[in-house]
Amino acid sequence: MVDVKLMTAEQLLAMPDDGRRYELVRGELIEMSPTHESHGRREGRLLVRVGNFVYEHRLGEVYPGDAGFQLERDPDTVRAPDVAFVSRDRLRPIDEATGYFPGAPDLAVEIVSPSETAGDVLAKVADYLKAGTRLVWVYYPRTGKLSVFRPDGSLAELGSGDTLSGEDVLPGFAVTVGELFATS
């Protein structure tokens, strides 16, 4: 039996910047590989589209993929969704917002990388929902499909021609999946 030394969120935050991305899953440090160009383009397009809507309607803040959210304590879990949204009423003043966001985002979006397994993706979704995320979007670039996960256990599978709704998390937000993730 190997004794694994668990890390805390504070220890993760104090690590020197070595140019790599990490998440902390129940105290274990997980290295994330850098995203490839098409992933980055899709992430950027989504960040701009959701961000413009959020800021235009003064709903809260949108976070890029390198922002950490502390989902659990003892052992600690810190996840960094590709795009995240936190509603205005849950935000701390920006000068007090040090460390990782204490809790789950209202919306977490994951763009599945070729190296991720279905189990990896579903584990992230479960962590978000368990911590209080109200809506999780998972986009599968290989198939062009998007899965919408909700805390009540319901799941919607959308294709490129289907309309993605922000539901009660981003009220009024609607766009076709294909338009949102197009890279040309």
Angle at 165 between CA 161 and CA 166, to 5 degrees: 150
CA distance 151 to 90: 18
Closest to 12 in 3D by CA, of 84, 66, 60, 63: 66
Q: Which domains does the chain have, with CATH numbers?
A: 9-181 (3.90.1570.10)
What is the percentage of the chain residues whose pLDDT exceeds 90?
57
One-letter amino acid for residue 28 of the chain: E
β-strand 155-158 against 145-149: which pairing, if any? antiparallel
Mean pLDDT taken over the chain: 90
The pair of structure tokens assigned to 152 is: 């009540």
pLDDT at 113: 85
pLDDT at 183: 63
- pLDDT range class, residue 2, cuts 50, 70, 90: low
Is 45 a residue whose pLDDT tops 70? yes
Q: Residue 111: CA atoms inside 13 Å, Cβ hemisphere, count?
A: 25
How large is the average pLDDT for residues 19-29?
Answer: 86
In tens, the pLDDT along 85-128 reads 999 999 988 888 788 999 999 999 999 888 888 888 999 999 99
Is 3 a residue whose pLDDT tops 70? no
- pLDDT range class, residue 48, cuts 50, 70, 90: very high
Q: Which residues pair with 84 in a beta bridge?
A: 63, 108
Q: Specify the pTM.
A: 0.90
Closest to 12 in 3D by CA, of 29, 32, 34, 33: 29
